[in-house]
Amino acid sequence: MGKRQFNVHLHYLGSCHPWQAGFFADLARPVIESANAWGTCYHTRMSNSPIPPSSAREDSSYNAPRWNTLAVFLASGLWIGRIPFMPGTFGTLLGLPLAWGVLQIASPWLQALVILLLFLVSIPICTCATADLGGKKDPGSIVLDEIVSLPVTFFLVPLATFERPAVMLAGFLLHRLFDITKPPPARQLESLPAGLGIMADDMAAGAYSCLALHLVLMLGWF
């Protein structure tokens, strides 16, 4: 995997993604530029630890996971991802206080901007964490994607409504449902390289669960 694949080109992205035009481009540019430095770590670390034949991979001393790096600490949700069962579910629980914090922002546009910036920052973090954990595609111990995507589920939900336990539970369960089932295009987005694939499919799950939650609220079920 070449180093160029992890460099972010503002000109290319600006021509492909409308949200980068104008005001949002100016705000997002520092974050995207900082991602360039982060994004090279996967190539650097994995090139120093080439993937061996299957017989060599059976040696547990080869390319052992490094849990003490900052990227792994953040991507695993402060090591919540090390829980041996249902790490994604426990990671999603950490997304509830983050969603509450985002909903404190009065402007929906600023809420969307914060979610976007969290998404952009999380991509290189997950990329580096994947390399530190041995290079396996989308390790289960990485739960930053669940954490960051949960605020998408509650986007445009009034704060007072969010604070009702039944609504929090409904949003949580809907997010888990769509994250596990991965309806299109979530499954296809998962195949994107490194941290982008880790984050993108969960953001799609967040969008699906957001629509479902608003439908449930509109029907007056809660």
Flag whether pLDDT at 43 surpasses 70. Answer: no
Instruction: Give the residue, 48 or 119, on which the prediction is more confident.
Output: 119
Segments making up each domain of the chain, as ranges: 3-218
φ/ψ of residue 24, rounded to 5: -70, -30
Please tell me the predicted confidence (pLDDT) of residue 22.
Answer: 52
Give residue-wise pLDDT tens across range 181-204.
999 999 999 889 889 999 999 999
Please tell me the predicted confidence (pLDDT) of residue 50.
Answer: 43
- Using CA atoms, how far residue 138 sits from 107, 177, 192, in Å, is 33, 18, 11
In the predicted model, what is the mean pLDDT of residues 123-130? 94
Query: Token digits for 33?
Result: 């530029």
173 vs 20: CA distance, rounded Å: 32
Residue 22, amino acid: G
pLDDT band at 29 (very low <50, low <70, confident <90, very high): low
**With contact defined as beta carbons under 8 Å apart, do 130 and 139 qualify?**
yes
Give residue-wise pLDDT tens across range 55-102.
433 444 446 778 889 999 999 999 898 888 899 899 999 999 999 999
> For residue 49, how many other CB atoms are within 10 A of its CB?
13
Tell me if residue 97 falls in helix, strand or coil: helix
Please tell me the predicted confidence (pLDDT) of residue 35.
Answer: 47
- Residue 33's H or E segment, with its range, is helix 22-48
Tell me the average pLDDT of the chain.
80
In the predicted model, what is the mean pLDDT of residues 166-175? 97
Tell me if residue 210 falls in helix, strand or coil: helix
